[in-house]
Chains A and B, each alone.
Chain A
Amino acid sequence: MPAAIETTSLTRRFGDFTAVDNVNLTVEAGQFFGFLGPNGAGKSTTIKMLTGLLAPTSGTIRILGADLTQNSAELKRQIGVVPEGMALFGRLTASEYLRFVGRMYGLDRATTEQRTAELLDFMSLADEQKKLVTDFSHGMQKKLALAAAVIHGPKVLFLDEPFEGVDAIAAGTLKQMLQRMIARGATIFLTSHVLEIVERLCTHIGIIHRGQLVAQGSIEQLRAGVASSGSVPLTLEQIFLEIVGTDRTGNLAATPPEQELSWLS
């Protein structure tokens, strides 16, 4: 079976700055993949390229075994995205937005209506029928964006910080939904800065740092690759800091500076 997501020498440059540098990434079908990295490491740029929103400078992307550039429209039907900034249409109500998205993904009218109702109920947005999306809170918008990303039953789901701004109860519900999608054969590619969530949900991890993929594998594999001082297994946070916290020469690179802001009281 082909990998759900596969990149070969994926590179993206913005002028002189290389945001993503020669990334070779493989996410097998059915994996819950966590994509980690410090701020500005290239996570969102990678997701944009994987979802066809940004063209790579060089390299190839294969989704479900097919080339993304060659089969852009067809593959977009197989993927769902919660993009950075959510990209909602603020002047629509939640149900109008979901109906629109469903139709854009080619669902028939009856299926769109049924799934819209189910999703609104599931996300606890059913009571906000008259409210425009622009008047939603950040968490509500996040839930709506996630509902829109799954309305067409995607095989691969890309989530850029899906739990940011979502309350704990809603986050629990969303996690449950995502895990059921995995159980049903979907592949999820997730970025988050909350390492506890990633550790709890994801089976496999990729770490990007300064545009380069510096680690990839299951959590056990990553753990095995990092030297541990004691018998207690390392947490993902410790693994992450161990990998990202040192540069190629072995010096500390991402640890807080030693200096003090002496003028702070």
Chain B
Amino acid sequence: MAQLDDRAASAPIPSQPAPYQPAQYQPAPAIPAATQLLAIAWMRWRMFANGFRRQAASGKSAGFVLSILLRMILWPILALWVIGPAIGAAFFAWRAIAHHHPERLIPLLAGVAILWQFIAVNGTSMAATLSTFEPASLLRFPLRFGRYLLLRLLLGLLTPSTIVGCLVLFAAALGIGIADSSLAPAAFFVLAIYAALNIFFSRMIAVWLERWLATRRAREIFGALMAFVFIGFQYFNFNRLKFRRPTGHPAHPPTDSWLLNFLNGNYHFLNWLPPGFATNSIVPGHALVRLAQFAALLAWTALFLAAFAFRLHRQFLGEYISEGAPRTTAAASTPRAFPRAPAPTPAGVFNQQLTTNNQQLFSPTIAACLRKEWLYLRGNSNQIVAMLTPLVFVFLFAKGMLARHPSYLLTGAIGYSLLGLMAALYNIFGADGAGVQLYLLAPVRLRDVILSKNIASLALLGAEAVLAWCVVAAVATVPIPLSMQISTFLWVIFMLFANLTLGTLRSIQAPRKISIAQARRMRSPATGKTSGLLVLAILFGSILLQVPVTLICRHFHNPWLAVVIFMPLAAVAVAAYALLLSNADRLILTHRDTFAQELCSD
């Protein structure tokens, strides 16, 4: 700035309007949509490219190479998520048409919709992990609502749910076309509309959930509703529902299995929902009937889009959806009279106010930190929703054929339930932000701080594992072998402590700040691309470890082998964690610079 000081008198002024202009509103020609859309596309590209450049520039070229390698390994695995359902959908659609059972397209399309929303719900945090862009930040620019709506639709098109869903529907249309080429044009066109409907539906759910969960009361109601749905399913026996065809005999009479009933198309309420309308728009029939069915499908599509657009428009107009005032508009408080208290010792100030009943069980530092973690959790009811959602899915999927194979079900259910929650272990300081400086300044052992955070995480994960276990035990139609229960317990211990160790290490070496808004919207912290992929690989790896172990047990016809394998692994994981704890103080002090850079900067 020194040079500017010298030239202050003749400093170059950026291009401004010529001398004096009366400040009056004069409508200007509209900004072309292409200009703004291309600017946003370019900006997104630069952010993406700069992410890699930053890694390389900061001496993390090894991380860059690692991220490429991880991609080469992970992409084929992820591709299976696309190819598998696509092949299945193509075959199922072909078979339905070729065997003259077009009504079977209804459960296929319903299944695609469920898969779509399942991936959308579960993929949100994962997508956010790799994204640092908040579309609402564009609201300050002179955008018209139509463009903002279009942007919000376009910006999420490359999410896993959309990719998988669209490809599966494309494959289904292909299957229909192969079975009966005369249906191909209608199939491709109708299923394209059906894809749009699913996109609008998932967006609608996301924005309305964000609105509903914005206030504490709404979150509590939603939590209670989820619990109600969860318990209600226990008593809602699909098998007792007798959905009869209006005329004639059913092609497939209702069976004892709700899943088979569903696959056979015996749930006729689906005829009144988008899967039914889409199917009936494709299959041969009277032209007017098909047209009416297609109109109904369009009406559903328009309804979802309208519901999405309505909510987005409120946001566009500047709606503030949280329950309290923004942090800058704190309520004026009246002065309070404080009683004079004896002066405590400076070292005791940190803990004195916060430690109460826990003093007996934990050290003052751990008790204080646990209290703080509890307050954070209490203010983030979305965490409860994040815990309940996988359990509901576990229950829904477990009610089918898996109930007769509790061994696979138990490990699958626990692994799936813990997957999302364990990701939080990899950034335990993120929510503290600049507050981590207190840990460095206060007269406390950093080991205690980490231990308290880990205890809080373990309590959550333990509760989730126990709940998933209970769901499986309730649903299973045959007893779960004791060997399986013990080996699963050991596997959970291994998985938790291995991820706790690696997660804590990662939290110290590469922390990322999480804003309160991100936490409220259940968005994960934005980690670096390499670390994000690495975390995913570790999480999946620790869960999928069950596969080779199960294969070994089957090969040797000895289920107790799993216990023999997981016991030492669990012991090693616990020992590694203990080792990490003993070195925690040194590790954090070594990474003080990273803390300041990542957590304390604006």
Contacts and interface: CB of A to CB of B under 8 A. Distances in A.
B13 A73 contact: no
B393 interface: no
Interface stretch (B36-44, B278-286, B300-308): B36-44
A40 B38 contact: no
B247 interface: no
A210 B39 contact: no
Interface in B15-50: 15-25, 27-28, 31-32, 35-36, 38-40, 42-43, 46-47, 50
A109 B329 CA distance: 40
Given A44-B326, A100-B42, A184-B17, A263 B24 contact: no
Given A103-B36, A134-B601, A169-B5, A180 B13 contact: yes
Given A40-B328, A74-B28, A257-B335, A141 B15 contact: no
Contacts, number: 218
A181 B16 contact: yes
A29 B22 CA distance: 8
Nearest to B215: A15
B331 A17 contact: yes
A172 B23 contact: no
Interface in B322-357: 323-326, 328-332, 335, 337-338, 340-344
Contacts of B20: 184-185
A124 B1 contact: yes
Given A55-B319, A169-B5, A44 B39 contact: no
B47 A4 contact: no
A14 B142 contact: no
A185 B22 contact: yes
Nearest to B18: A184
Contact of A106 (B23, B31, B319): B31
Interface bracket on A: 35 or more
Interface in A35-78: 39-40, 42-45, 48-49, 51-55, 63-66, 69, 71-78
Contacts of B314: 55
B441 interface: no
B22 A66 contact: no
Contacts of B325: 14-15, 17, 19, 45
Interface in B28-86: 28, 31-32, 35-36, 38-40, 42-43, 46-47, 50-51, 54, 57
B143 interface: yes
Interface in A142-198: 147, 150-151, 153, 155-156, 167, 169-170, 172-173, 176-177, 180-181, 184-187
B23 A153 contact: no
B140 interface: yes
Contacts of A199: none
A105 B141 contact: yes
B8 interface: yes
Contact of A210 (B24, B142, B332): B332
B132 interface: yes
Chain B interface SS verdict (over half): loop
Contacts of B16: 150, 153, 180-181, 184, 186
Nearest to B137: A87
Interface string A209-224: 0100000000000000
Interface residues of B, number: 72
B43 A92 contact: yes
Contacts of B140: 51-53, 76, 81, 83, 87
A1 interface: yes
Contacts of B23: 1, 4, 29-30, 64, 155-156, 185-187
A122 B8 CA distance: 10
A193 B174 CA distance: 66
A135 to B, nearest CB: 8
B334 to A, nearest CB: 10
Contacts of A115: 14-15
B24 A122 contact: no
B142 A76 contact: yes
Contacts of B22: 1, 29, 185
Contact of A104 (B1, B141, B319): B141
Contacts of B139: 52-53
A17 B17 CA distance: 42
A10 B330 CA distance: 18
29 contacts: A1-B24, A4-B23, A15-B325, A17-B324, A42-B329, A44-B329, A53-B139, A66-B25, A69-B317, A74-B28, A89-B43, A91-B47, A100-B40, A100-B42, A104-B39, A104-B40, A105-B142, A106-B31, A106-B35, A106-B36, A106-B142, A115-B15, A153-B16, A170-B1, A173-B4, A173-B8, A173-B11, A263-B343, A263-B344
Interface of A: 1-2, 4, 14-15, 17, 19, 29-30, 39-40, 42-45, 48-49, 51-55, 63-66, 69, 71-78, 81, 83-87, 89-93, 96, 100-101, 103-106, 111, 114-115, 118-119, 121-122, 124, 130, 132, 134, 138, 141, 147, 150-151, 153, 155-156, 167, 169-170, 172-173, 176-177, 180-181, 184-187, 210, 257, 259, 262-263
Query: Top 6 A-B pairs ranked by shortest CB distance?
Result: A106-B31, A263-B343, A64-B25, A103-B39, A29-B23, A76-B142
